[in-house]
């Protein structure tokens, strides 16, 4: 059966999946990234691709799509800047093409996830759609008029770095202060817990035992159980998330905003429910309640499925055309 391979390049591991035209993953592989050095990352990508191809056979593979963090030059496939990988001008596509012979396409990871959710998940049939991925950082992507919005330099959807707390906010990896990502990502939830700690001198929330995983999940779990300190952090975090989401609504007026990434999967009773009320209170120039805030449907697979769709469409040039109907259309047999 015909398939394309989608690669999702994350901060700690890289995942690859062989994806059929109807969005089903028929084979997958995953590897931890031991180093974020470009040469080491390229090695790992080559390995996951080989693993998938070994299991599926090469002849039905129509192409490979890579979802990479950062701002990416559309023509050359160079990653201009990725604060999370600390990459500047990394010629990722050229490096990969020396190792992989299939047609190769590269797009920002959050835009790949947006494409995946739009074609096969929470955005199916939604002409005005936005995805916000909330994990270590915040990524995003917009669909408008059934087109994936790329912007003049592939930067449309970089919602994580619009500033919401310029004076009092946390510092961001991009160099600014009070970015949406610094205030409302998973990592930010931990920051809010640290910031509220002086008000809870007896709290054991941040007391770390050797077996504990130190991260946003422990705050989220404690908040779900009613821990006062965790709830204070969660509420402050939710206020910042609502501020950013209400801005995004005023930028593009979507019908649906899907919350993806690890934190986006939180119980709707804790997340999308209260968030909707806060966002409505901050929505002024657009009728309240127009935008539905939902949980993304493809989970961690959105990036892989979207990257494979990019490959099947034959690259970013196809994304400027309306995409309704392409999920079921045949693959484009274009060169990379």
Provide the binding-site residues for Zn ion, judged by CB under 5 A: 161, 172, 174, 176, 179
Cβ 81 to Zn ion, closest distance in Å? 11
Contacts of 160 (CB under 8 A, 6+ apart): 137, 138, 139, 140, 179, 180, 181, 185
270, 271, 274, 276 alpha-carbon torsion, rounded to 10°: -160
Q: Which is nearer to Zn ion, 120 or 180 (CB)?
A: 180
Q: 208: which DSSP letter?
A: P
The bridge status of strand 3-9 relative to strand 61-68 is parallel
Cβ 315 to Zn ion, closest distance in Å? 28
305 vs 210: CA distance, rounded Å: 36
28 vs 236: CA distance, rounded Å: 38
Cβ 175 to Zn ion, closest distance in Å? 7
Q: Which is nearer to Zn ion, 40 or 153 (CB)?
A: 153
Cβ 178 to Zn ion, closest distance in Å? 9
Cβ 185 to Zn ion, closest distance in Å? 10
Q: Which is nearer to Zn ion, 163 or 224 (CB)?
A: 163
23 vs 116: CA distance, rounded Å: 8
131 vs 293: CA distance, rounded Å: 10
Helix, strand or coil for residue 187? helix
Cβ 161 to Zn ion, closest distance in Å? 4
Q: Which is nearer to Zn ion, 161 or 192 (CB)?
A: 161
Q: Which is nearer to Zn ion, 182 or 233 (CB)?
A: 182
Helix, strand or coil for residue 100? coil
Q: Which is nearer to Zn ion, 188 or 323 (CB)?
A: 188
The bridge status of strand 13-19 relative to strand 292-295 is unpaired
307 vs 7: CA distance, rounded Å: 6
**Which secondary-structure segment (H or E) carries 48?**
helix 38-56
Cβ 172 to Zn ion, closest distance in Å? 3
Q: Which is nearer to Zn ion, 179 or 309 (CB)?
A: 179
Inter-residue contact 102 to 56 (CB < 8 Å): no
């Amino acid at each position: 059966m015909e398939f394309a391979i989608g690669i999702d390049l994350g901060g700690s591991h890289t995942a690859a999946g062989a994806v059929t035209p109807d969005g089903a993953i028929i084979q997958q592989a995953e590897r931890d990234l031991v180093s974020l050095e470009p040469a080491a990352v390229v090695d790992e990508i080559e390995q996951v691709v080989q693993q998938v191809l070994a299991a599926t056979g090469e002849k039905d593979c129509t192409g490979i799509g890579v979802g990479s963090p950062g701002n990416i030059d559309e023509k050359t496939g160079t990653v201009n800047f990725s604060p999370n990988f600390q990459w500047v001008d990394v010629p990722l596509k050229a490096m990969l093409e020396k190792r992989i012979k299939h047609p190769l396409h590269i797009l920002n990871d959050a835009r790949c996830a947006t494409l995946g959710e739009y074609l096969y998940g929470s955005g199916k049939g939604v002409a005005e759609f936005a995805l916000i991925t909330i994990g270590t950082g915040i990524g995003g992507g917009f669909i408008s008029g059934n087109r994936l919005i790329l912007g003049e330099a592939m930067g449309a959807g970089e919602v994580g770095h619009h500033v919401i707390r310029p004076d009092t906010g946390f510092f961001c990896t991009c160099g600014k202060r009070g970015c949406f990502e610094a205030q409302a990502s998973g990592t930010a939830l931990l920051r809010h817990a640290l910031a509220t700690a002086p008000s809870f001198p007896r709290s054991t929330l941040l007391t770390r035992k050797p077996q504990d995983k130190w991260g946003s999940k422990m705050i989220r779990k404690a908040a779900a159980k009613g821990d006062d300190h965790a709830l204070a952090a969660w509420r402050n975090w939710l206020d910042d998330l609502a501020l950013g989401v209400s801005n995004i609504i005023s930028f593009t007026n979507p019908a649906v905003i899907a919350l993806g990434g690890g934190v986006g999967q939180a119980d709707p009773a804790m997340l999308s429910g209260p968030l909707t009320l806060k966002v409505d209170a901050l929505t002024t120039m657009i009728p309240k309640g127009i935008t539905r805030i939902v949980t993304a449907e493809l989970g961690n697979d959105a990036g892989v499925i979207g990257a494979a769709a990019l490959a099947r469409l034959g690259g970013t040039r196809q994304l400027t055309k309306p995409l309704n109907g392409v999920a079921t259309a045949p693959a484009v047999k274009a060169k990379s």
